C-alpha cells in the first residue's frame, strides 16, 4: 500500500495522466486526484514518476511493501522540501521548516557557516540551511529513507544542446505555441485567476495569454521606481481591471519580521517585502494568481547576460549567480568568525563542470536556474503567497518551456541591443512592440532611499547595535558601513539590508522563540 505523507503543488497535466494511468479523476477534488495520480504513477513508473509530471510539486510517500519513505522535489524546486536526521536515526521531513523544528528529536542550533554564503548571495543557496543538520532536498532530486539511512539521487538536471537549424521566427513560434499549451493546463474551467503585472514583458505576456480579468500591481509614490503606471497602460490595452497596492515605507519596514518568520530562512532580496504586500493585497479578492517567473533565467532576460562573452572562461572564478554583493575581504572585516574554506564559488563548481564546452551565456543561465531560482525567487513566491492564503501558478516555469530554451542558441537569447530576443518576439504576437521590447527594469524598490530616512530606519540602527549582532559581526564595522551609506554611498544599501534581514530573522527564530 502507498500512502501520501505530505504533498504540496499543482500537477498541470493531471488530465492526460489520468487517462494514461486509467484513473477516473474527473469527479475528484483537486487534492484527491493529484494524490491518486502520484500513487498510481509511483506504482507504474516507480522512482521515475516525475519524468511524466509537469507542474510544481514536492511530496513524500510511504511504500508499505518496500518499507521505505520516498520523497521528491520537482525539477526546478518551485516547492521546498526539507529533512533532518535525528540522533536516533529518525527522519523528520516536510515542506515547512517550522513543522520540522517543532518535532521531538530536532535540536535547534544555528549553522553559522551559512552566514558567509548569505553575506555574498543574500539568500540561502545549496543544500544546507541556517539550522544545523537541516537540509534542503535540492531540485531534481529524490530521497529514499530505509532502515535508518537516507539515500539521495539526482533524477534530473538542466542540459543544453543548441540547435542552429532554426530561425528567430521559428523559435518565437515554438515558444508561443508552447505557452498556449501551458494555458490549456494551468487551471480548470471552474477556477478563476488573476495575474500579477509589472511593467515587464513576462507578466504582460502571461496576462495577454490568460483568461484573467483582473491584474494586480505594486506601486510607489516615488515615481522613478513606480512601474504601476506602465502596468496600467498594459491592463487598459488588454481590457482587464487593474488593482495597484501602493507601498508605503512604513508598511514596508513594518512587515519585515512577518516576512522573515514566514520565509523561515533569511532573504536579503528587498523585492520580497514588496511581493509580500502585493500578495496580501491580492488575496483580498482572489485565491489564485498567475506570475511570470522563469523566463528571465531560461531565455536570457538579465542585462548582465549581455556581458557573458566578455567574461568568457573567467566566469567560473567569480560568477555565483544573480547576486554577489560582498567580497571575501569585506566579510573578513565584518564577521566575528570567518572560515576561508566556505566560499560561495564552491556551490557552483559542479555546474561549471556540467557546462564545460558550452558558451558563457549558457553557463550563467544554468547557475541561475539551479541556484538563484531555487534559493531566492521560488522560495519567495511559495512562502509569501502561502502565508497570504494565495496560490500562485507560474505558467512559464515548465520543462516544456525550458526544453525550448535548452535547444535555443544564445544568439537568439541576447544580442548587443536586447535581451530575451526570441521570447520578446513571441510575446509580440499578442502585445504591441513597445511592451514586448520594453527595456528590462527589474522589480525595483525604493529601499535604497528609505533606509537612509530616520523616520523608518530606527529598527535597523537598533539591531546593528544589539547584543546578538555583536555575536556575529564586528559592530563597529557594520555601523561604519551604515554611516557611509547614510553619508551618500547608496550602493551600500544591499550590504546594510542583508545584515539587517539576517538579524530580524535571527531574532524571530532564536531570540523570541
Mean pLDDT across the stretch 329-358? 96
Task: For residues 221 and 232, give the distance between their C-alpha atoms in angstroms, rounded to a whole number.
Answer: 15
> From the CB of residue 323, how many other CB atoms can be counted at a distance below 10 Å?
20
The three cell numbers of residue 91 are 527522519
Q: How confident is the model at residue 445 (pLDDT cuts 50, 70, 90)?
A: confident
Q: Judge contact between 367 and 375, C-beta under 8 A.
A: no
CA angle 490, 495, 496 (to 5 degrees): 75
DSSP for 24-52 reads --TTS-HHHHHHHHHHHHHHHHGGGGGGG
pLDDT digits (tens, 9 = 90+) for 415-440: 988 999 999 999 999 999 999 998 76
Phi and psi angles of residue 66, each rounded to the nearest 5 degrees, phi first: -85, -10
Is residue 370 pLDDT above 60, yes or no?
Answer: yes
Task: For residues 511 and 507, give the distance between their C-alpha atoms in angstroms, rounded to a whole number.
Answer: 5
In this predicted structure, what is the pLDDT of residue 210? Answer: 97
Q: How confident is the model at residue 57 (pLDDT cuts 50, 70, 90)?
A: very high
Closest Cα to residue 19, out of 1, 51, 2, 44?
44
> From the CB of residue 379, how many other CB atoms can be counted at a distance below 10 Å?
24
DSSP for 168-186 reads HHHHHHHHHHHHHHHHHHS
Mode of pairing for the β-strands spanning 214-219 and 194-196: parallel
| 90: exposed, middle or buried (Cβ count in 10 Å: 0-12, 13-18, 19+) | middle
Is residue 493 pLDDT above 60, yes or no?
Answer: yes
Task: For residues 306 and 421, give the distance between their C-alpha atoms in angstroms, rounded to a whole number.
Answer: 11
In this predicted structure, what is the pLDDT of residue 157? Answer: 97
Is residue 340 pLDDT above 80, yes or no?
Answer: yes
In this predicted structure, what is the pLDDT of residue 442? Answer: 58
Mean pLDDT across the stretch 157-179? 97
Is residue 513 pLDDT above 70, yes or no?
Answer: no
Task: For residues 43 and 224, give the distance between their C-alpha atoms in angstroms, rounded to a whole number.
Answer: 55
Helices marked H in 255-348: 256-263, 271-282, 295-299, 308-311, 315-318, 328-334
From 163-172, 290-299, 330-339, 437-446, the region with the lowest mean pLDDT: 437-446
CA distance to 165, 223, 376, 449, 451, per residue, from 455 (Å): 59, 20, 29, 12, 9
Which SS3 state, helix, strand or coil, does residue 262 take? helix
CA distance to 179, 207, 311, per residue, from 174 (Å): 9, 19, 30
Q: What is the pTM of this model?
A: 0.96
User: How many residues are listed for the chain in this entry?
Assistant: 513
Which residue, chain included where needed, has cell 531534481? Answer: 140
Tell me the domains of the chain and their CATH numbers: 2-154 (3.60.20.10), 447-511 (no CATH)
Amino acid at each position: 500500500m502507498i500512502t501520501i505523507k505530505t504533498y504540496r503543488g499543482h500537477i498541470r497535466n493531471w488530465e492526460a495522466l489520468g487517462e494514461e494511468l486509467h484513473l477516473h479523476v474527473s469527479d475528484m477534488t483537486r487534492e484527491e486526484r493529484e494524490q491518486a495520480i502520484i500513487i498510481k504513477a509511483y506504482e507504474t513508473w516507480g522512482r521515475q514518476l516525475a519524468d511524466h509530471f509537469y507542474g510544481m510539486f514536492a511530496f513524500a510517500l510511504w511504500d508499505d511493501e518496500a518499507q521505505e519513505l520516498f520523497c521528491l522535489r520537482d525539477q526546478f524546486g518551485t516547492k521546498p522540501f526539507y529533512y533532518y536526521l535525528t540522533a536516533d536515526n529518525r527522519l523528520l521531513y516536510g515542506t515547512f521548516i517550522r513543522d520540522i523544528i517543532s518535532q521531538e528529536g530536532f535540536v535547534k542550533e544555528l549553522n553559522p557557516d551559512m552566514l558567509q554564503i548569505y553575506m555574498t548571495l543574500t539568500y540561502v543557496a545549496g543544500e544546507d540551511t541556517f539550522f544545523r543538520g537541516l537540509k534542503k532536498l535540492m531540485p531534481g532530486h529524490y530521497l529514499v529513507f530505509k532502515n535508518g539511512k537516507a539515500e539521495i539521487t539526482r533524477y534530473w538536471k538542466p542540459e543544453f544542446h543548441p540547435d542552429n537549424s532554426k530561425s528567430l521566427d521559428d523559435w518565437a513560434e515554438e515558444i508561443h505555441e508552447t505557452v498556449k499549451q501551458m494555458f490549456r493546463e494551468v487551471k480548470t474551467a471552474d477556477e478563476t485567476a488573476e495575474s500579477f503585472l509589472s511593467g515587464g514583458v513576462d507578466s504582460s505576456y502571461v496576462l495577454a495569454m490568460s483568461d484573467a480579468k483582473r491584474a494586480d500591481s505594486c506601486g510607489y509614490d516615488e515615481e522613478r521606481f513606480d512601474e504601476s503606471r506602465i502596468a496600467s497602460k498594459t491592463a487598459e490595452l488588454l481590457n482587464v481591471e487593474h488593482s495597484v497596492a501602493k507601498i508605503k515605507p512604513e508598511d514596508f519596514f513594518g512587515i519585515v519580521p512577518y516576512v522573515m518568520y514566514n520565509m523561515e530562512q533569511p532573504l536579503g532580496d528587498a523585492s520580497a517585502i514588496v511581493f509580500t504586500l502585493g500578495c496580501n493585497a491580492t488575496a483580498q479578492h482572489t485565491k489564485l494568481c498567475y506570475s511570470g517567473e522563469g523566463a528571465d533565467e531560461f531565455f536570457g532576460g538579465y542585462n548582465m547576460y549581455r556581458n557573458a562573452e566578455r567574461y568568457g572562461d573567467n566566469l567560473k572564478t567569480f560568477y555565483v549567480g544573480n547576486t554577489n554583493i560582498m567580497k571575501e575581504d569585506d566579510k573578513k572585516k565584518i564577521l566575528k568568525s570567518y572560515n576561508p574554506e566556505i566560499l560561495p564559488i564552491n556551490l557552483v563548481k559542479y555546474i561549471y563542470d556540467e557546462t564545460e564546452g558550452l558558451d558563457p551565456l549558457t553557463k550563467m543561465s544554468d547557475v541561475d536556474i539551479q541556484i538563484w531560482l531555487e534559493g531566492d525567487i521560488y522560495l519567495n513566491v511559495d512562502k509569501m503567497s502561502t502565508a497570504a492564503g494565495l496560490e500562485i501558478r507560474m505558467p512559464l516555469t515548465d520543462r516544456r518551456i525550458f526544453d525550448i530554451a535548452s535547444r535555443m542558441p544564445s544568439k537568439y537569447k541576447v544580442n548587443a541591443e536586447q535581451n530575451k530576443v526570441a521570447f520578446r518576439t513571441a510575446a509580440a504576437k499578442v502585445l504591441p512592440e513597445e511592451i514586448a521590447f520594453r527595456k528590462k527594469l527589474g522589480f525595483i524598490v525604493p529601499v535604497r532611499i528609505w533606509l537612509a530616512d530616520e523616520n523608518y530606519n530606527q529598527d535597523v540602527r537598533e539591531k546593528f547595535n544589539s547584543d546578538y549582532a555583536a555575536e556575529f559581526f564586528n559592530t563597529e564595522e557594520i555601523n561604519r558601513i551604515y554611516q557611509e551609506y547614510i553619508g551618500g554611498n547608496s550602493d551600500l544599501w544591499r550590504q546594510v539590508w542583508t545584515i539587517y534581514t539576517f538579524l530580524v530573522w535571527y531574532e524571530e527564530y532564536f531570540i523570541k522563540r
